[in-house]
Amino acid sequence: MLLTITTTHQPATDLGYLLYKHPARVQTFKLAFGEAHVFYPETSEDHCTAALLLDINPVGLVRGKKDFALSQYVNDRPYVASSFLSVAIAQVYGTALNGTCKDRPELAQTPIPLEATMSVLPSRGGAELLTRLFEPLGYTVSAEPHVLDSQFPDWGMSPYYTLTLTHTVRLADLLSHLYMLIPVLDNDKHYYVGDGEVQKLLAKGEGWLSGHPEKDLITRRYLKHQRSLQRAALEQLVDEDTDSLKQDEEEIAAEDQLIEPEAKISLHQQRLGAALAVLKNSGAQRVLDLGCGEGRLLRLLLDEKQFTEIVGMDVSHRSLEMAADRLKLDHMPDRQRARLTLIQGSLMYRDARLQGFDAAAVVEVIEHLDPPRLAAFERVLFEFAHPATVVITTPNAEYNIMWESLPAGQFRHRDHRFEWTRAEFQAWAEGICERFGYTVRYLPIGPEDATVGAPSQMAVFDVIQQ
């Protein structure tokens, strides 16, 4: 099972930065179901190819399964690109899949000429399905079918193809498309689908899935196989979630360290305190905490009797589990418990569960969203959910120069997609007011400097009553 990615962007060797894999090295990654090797068959200024070779251990695949059957040994799993390749993409190219690149941040956000080739790829739906899935996303699709057995041409064609996709596209988008569509093409039972998969579907489908003509087929197939938990794959997927959580923890801890020693309350506490104060002042009773993470704000909201209905939403299933733990949901008295609901969902998708609330808080979340996707978020929150009050906080990029440990031009956290100056944040907020009928005011958070302002910034939106 081989995936090669080639670029002719110059210098082509920048592909190494984008993938976080050095072109001069062969690297091997241990996965629960085998090994992945990354190497570069060609590297030059104008042409560079990275190869991901997946070597699946067929015995490892069935180890630990209770219901042994011969079919588990005699199947095509080790030899074809199935969802194991998806898992390998997430594991080995995870940072690139998220669109993050420390050394070439602009390039990660720029469409570049890319060609991806996969052999041997099963397509249950033939070459036609390959075209239906990839052409709407802008790819030139070339699929070369394989006969079932070259010695016996009468046996006819196999469901396997060598697929080549060509497009000028962001590397992160290419990887997201492959990550999601490979299991859709294969449509066979192989790995566990649970809540976490719904989350991944939403997260990786951001910006393209909702407009795809085959959206129904993609969603149905992707979420179809509820049985057969492939334990090995699941472990890998859970690790991945834990990683992103660790990042959030690191981010908050790092920021707290950066705060002047005399500031007794951490910057994050100040943000949460400010958000809470605004929500209380607004008179809101039914409140949303969007991108609630591990539930730090939810804890504060629960302590205030004024809030009769509190909903925390996050795209990360793992974060919600941590929130449930942290808030001791299982041991909460019934009346308290009845006030709080945790839901999984993405702020990129219109969601009826978010309607009918008085106020919403979005604390340190927008900078994690891809700039081209912000417009979707704006409509989801301000047009469809439409709470009377909205509190949004985000870092103030101007303040970064106050932190000596932060290299110039770098974001505070590697998952941040942008950090705005006060003027940028305010220009964005004014646009929202015009389009959706709100007024806005701004509050600094943290120690304020005369020139660069405070480390964090808050905008409070109030709906204009008709």
- State which residue, 190 or 368, has the beta carbon closest to ligand SAH: 368
**Nearest to ligand SAH by Cβ — which residue?**
293
- If one asks whether residue 392 binds ligand SAH (CB under 6 A), the answer comes out as no
> Binding pattern to ligand SAH, positions 61-80, x when CB under 6 A?
--------------------
**Quick check: 196 and 223 in contact, CB under 8 A?**
no
Residue from 52, 174, 182, 347 in contact with ligand SAH (CB under 6 A):
347
Alpha-carbon Rg of the chain, whole angstroms?
A: 24
- State which residue, 364 or 398, has the beta carbon closest to ligand SAH: 364
- If one asks whether residue 172 binds ligand SAH (CB under 6 A), the answer comes out as no
CB of 3 to ligand SAH, least distance (A): 27
> Binding pattern to ligand SAH, positions 257-296, x when CB under 6 A?
----------------------------------xxx--x
- State which residue, 88 or 292, has the beta carbon closest to ligand SAH: 292
H helical segments located in 155-194:
171-186
423: which residues sit within 8 A by CB, 6+ positions away?
A: none
Closest CA to 3 of 103, 85, 114, 91: 85
CB of 455 to ligand SAH, least distance (A): 14
- State which residue, 12 or 300, has the beta carbon closest to ligand SAH: 300
Total number of residues that touch ligand SAH (CB under 6 A): 17
**Quick check: 389 and 279 in contact, CB under 8 A?**
yes
328: which residues sit within 8 A by CB, 6+ positions away?
A: none
CB of 242 to ligand SAH, least distance (A): 13
**Quick check: 444 and 453 in contact, CB under 8 A?**
yes
Residue from 115, 358, 364, 370 in contact with ligand SAH (CB under 6 A):
364
- State which residue, 21 or 204, has the beta carbon closest to ligand SAH: 204
How far apart CA 233 and CA 259 sit, in angstroms, is 40
Burial of 385 (C-beta count, 10 Å sphere; 0-12/13-18/19+):
buried
Cα 147 to chain centroid, rounded: 38
How far apart CA 133 and CA 143 sit, in angstroms, is 13
CB of 71 to ligand SAH, least distance (A): 38
CB of 252 to ligand SAH, least distance (A): 7
Residue from 363, 376, 445, 458 in contact with ligand SAH (CB under 6 A):
363
Strands in 202-303 per DSSP E:
286-290
CB of 321 to ligand SAH, least distance (A): 12
Q: DSSP string spanning 63-106?
A: TT-SS--GGGTSSSTTTS--HHHHHHHHHHSHHHHTT--SS-HH
- State which residue, 105 or 293, has the beta carbon closest to ligand SAH: 293
Strands in 173-308 per DSSP E:
286-290
Q: Residue with structure tokens 């998952």?
A: 415
Residue from 97, 116, 172, 365 in contact with ligand SAH (CB under 6 A):
365
How far apart CA 194 and CA 306 sit, in angstroms, is 36
- State which residue, 381 or 429, has the beta carbon closest to ligand SAH: 381
- Grouping H, G, I as helix, E, B as strand and the rest as coil, residue 436 is helix
* 310-339: contacts with ligand SAH (CB under 6 A): 314-316, 319
- If one asks whether residue 115 binds ligand SAH (CB under 6 A), the answer comes out as no
> Binding pattern to ligand SAH, positions 231-250, x when CB under 6 A?
-----------------x--
* Helix H or strand E encompassing 167: strand 157-169
Binding site for ligand SAH (CB under 6 A): 248, 291-293, 296, 314-316, 319, 346-348, 363-365, 368-369
